[in-house]
Structure 1
Amino acid sequence: MAALAAPAMAELRRDNASGGSVTLYGHLNPAWQSVDDGVASYDTLVDNGHSPSRLGLWVRQPLGGGTFGFNLETALGVRQSFAVSQGTKADALNWQRTSIRKVDFSWSSERFGTFCLGQGSMSHDGAAERDLSGTSLVGYNSIGSAAGAFRFRDAAGALTPRTIAAAGPSFDGGRRGRIRYDTPGFQGFKLSVSHGEEILAQNSDLTSTSVALFYDREPGDWTLSGALAYASVDSRLTGDLHDRMGSFSALHASGWNVTVAAGDRQESGTYAYGKLGYKADWFAAGTTALSVDYCDGRDMTAGPGSDSAALGVQLVQNFDEPGIEAYLGWRDYSLSETGTTYRDASSVLIGARWKF
């Protein structure tokens, strides 16, 4: 790459004479988490698991009629909201190999699409979580992100093995060491296929293959975003898993928005999710986003006969000039199984994300 030239985005981007660039980015997302499991309350300073604090680097360079890209990204290793439970409070800072999010090489063009190789998103990553509400920072179709490791208590108040995350999975994809191809867009549609394996966690022995169809358009006063995906996962720990998932979100110019999602795992259960939101410019500082959501699950924890639900309310206030998003989220969790009654739990997450 040619010598770097003057900055183009604050002091975090440098362009070169041949059209390439290097960009440093990231965000910090500290939060206060409070969880009530029906017997006791737990208050913890955490990193918001909906969008963990991270640091990343993008290198882009025109090459062969397209654009070569390299993306390096890591979480900071701060204690995550989804990793705290009644009996476990991880170290406040504990960076590990699994904190690495992306080491990804890509080449893309409008004619041929995008080819990716390395640690990065599988095709179905994000397929169950398309959300235009502006509140996904504190609540979306990832029910376990706020307090997923907390365990439900039975009617007598004793802790059980059942966790919030297990009762409300979205089946959404993650990141793997993979090869991935995305077609060029056509009328808003794009097809993606990938195959990868877990290369960061030791002794995981996990491989997965996924295919996804994405849709993004802005007709008239609407912004639309949707996805459908299928994933096959082969894991030594869990056996073979076969997941189907999809989501769709619509935002109107008035600020009203609606999001729906659904998924099923052949080996366990199904869920349906819905969110209603509103975005408004009430304050000069930035956009305010409000939403309420609900997720209903069947047969997630104990085969036929288990029912789970989560109800949430979210508020995000943007402060454009400093690049800060302040948020407040509340969620109630319930679970029932044939022959077993569990106490409801609830969580509150308050914090702010600063992006650079």
Structure 2
Amino acid sequence: MTANDFATGAICRVVVPIALAVLAFPTTAAFGEDFPKLEYKLPNGAAFKIYGQIATGVLVYDDGFQTEAYAPIDNNNSISRVAASYGRDFGGWGLEAVVEVEYPAYSTNNINVRSPSPDWGWENTYFRRIEVTLENESYGKLWLGQGYMASDYSAEVDLSGTTVIAYSKIQGTAGGQLFRNAATGAFGPSVNSAFNNYDGLGRNVRIRYDTPKMAGFVASASYGENALGDNDTALADVALRYNNTFDDFKVSGAIAYAWQENDVEIVDGSASILHQPSGINLTFAVGSQDNGAKVGRYAYGKLGLLRDYVELGPTALVADYYYGEDIAALDSASQSFGVAAVQTIKQYNTDLYLTYRRYQYDTTTEDFEDGDAVLGGARIRF
């Protein structure tokens, strides 16, 4: 890649999204006013919206043999994206059509010392959502098209206020990085391979139904296939979610079961509780995947504090720990601990974040150096 190519790519990654965000400000808006949204009311009562986020920063990673910095790099914990939606209400029903895309050519998910350059190619999986939904308070919600399966986010329920940088998907911080053999320095598996939160079936082309909310519970089921990926695999899942508030406590949770055509089964769940006056919160997640050859499993826990220390917005501080077995290979162990801080600036829909995370991975036959990651940056929503 030439210097000109890299410069052009940097413009695509940073300048263009920022320019889109700037368009959200009316020309008459004065500095200090709330960050406005791109929303247009149509004559028929419908609403057309353009929205999204920019989440970029600097990643520094030490693999035990060398330290490299990558910037500006997209934060795969909460990837940059843009979407357009058309919504209309009629007779107690809400209809919405959404197209949402991402472009993670240079993100924490795919960059490492052996592959430091962006891949500017396009993949169909960059279409996050191409769907239509129909919702009624009494009858529930129907989803049709490319989008969230019923089990998606079932392992990621989290009230800590830090999901932009720290939650059960701990590989998001530096997933593309590689472990190094402690004796020889040879490259081993990636962080993505060694860690997984088994968060259901992700996004696929499917039909999905959610029940109306009953006593805080919502049940969901979906069926589809991985039509935009490499394999047209049939998929099916069910999930149960819960959200409620009891006096000073806010409680959320989810459990899910998912099946793939190649006889892969996933069971996962997560729960989070927030004591609103003090800001103290606890989050847990567990999951397992049986692919016939091995059963990978993990457990994750987080302790956090979410408080309004400054007028800008809430400050979130957390420490977390992850332990997994047989994820990348049989008889392997994966461990990680991290700390993170997020400062929200409400007026500008911005989160400033900073995290440190250590990744540890070993097998019964091979030892690998620990990996240390520091990722800091900002997410701006428009």
TM-score (norm 2): 0.86
Match of 1:232 in 2: 259
2:215 corresponds in structure 1 to 187
Question: Aligned runs of 1:121-160 on 2, under 5 Å?
Answer: 121-160=148-187
Structure 1 residue aligned with 2:266? 243
**What is the CA–CA distance in structure 2 between the aligned matches of 1:63 and 1:118, rounded to whole Å?**
21
Question: For residue 262 of structure 1, what is the aligned residue in structure 2?
Answer: 286
Q: 1:3 is matched with which residue?
A: none
Range that drifts further, 19-28 or 206-215:
19-28
Higher helix share: 2
Distance 1:11 1:125 in 2: 27
CA-based RMSD:
1.7
Would the aligned equivalents of 2:356 and 2:372 in 1 still touch at CA under 8 Å? yes
Residue pair 2:181, 2:188 contacting (<8 A) in 1 also: no
Q: CA deviation at 1:41?
A: 1.1
More strand by share: 1
Q: Distance in 2 between matches of 1:11 and 1:218?
A: 29
Aligned length: 343
* Cα distance in 2 between the residues matched to 1:77 and 1:264: 27
Aligned to 1:73: 100
> How far apart are residue 248 of structure 1 and its match?
0.1
Unaligned runs of 5+ in 2: 1-25, 27-34
Distance 1:10 1:350, change over 3 A: closer
The alpha-carbon deviation at position 149 of structure 1 amounts to 2.0
Gaps of 5+ in 1: 1-6
Aligned partner of residue 78 in structure 2, secondary structure: coil
- Provide Cα deviations, 1:311-350, integer angstroms capped at 9, x if missing partner: 0101001112222111001110111211211111111111
Q: TM-score, normalised by structure 1?
A: 0.92
1:199 aligns with 2:227: yes
The residue type equivalent to 1:212 in the other structure is A
Q: Which amino acid aligns with 1:103?
A: I
Q: CA deviation at 1:159?
A: 2.8
CA contact (8 A) 1:33 1:81 kept: yes
Separation of aligned partners in 2, 1:87 and 1:206 = 31
Identical counterparts, % of pairs: 35
Runs of 4+ aligned structure 1 residues displaced above 6 Å come to none
Please tell me whether the aligned partners of residues 151 and 159 of structure 1 are also in contact (alpha carbons under 8 angstroms). no
Is 1:27 aligned with 2:53? yes
**Cα gap change, 1:160/1:133 in structure 2, threshold over 3 Å: closer, same or farther?**
same
Distance 1:261 1:98 in 2: 26
Q: Secondary structure at the match of 1:50?
A: helix
User: Which whole-Å deviations, capped at 9, do the CAs of 1:172-224 have from their partners, x for residues lacking one?
Assistant: 131101110000010000100011112223x4232211110000111211111
Q: What residue is the counterpart of 2:85 in the other structure?
A: 58
Deviations 1:25-76 (A, max 9, x none): 1111111011111111121121000111111112111135311111111113
User: Which deviations, in whole Å up to 9, do the C-alpha atoms of 1:268-326 show, x marking residues without a partner?
Assistant: 211000000001111111111000000001121222x2211010101001112222111
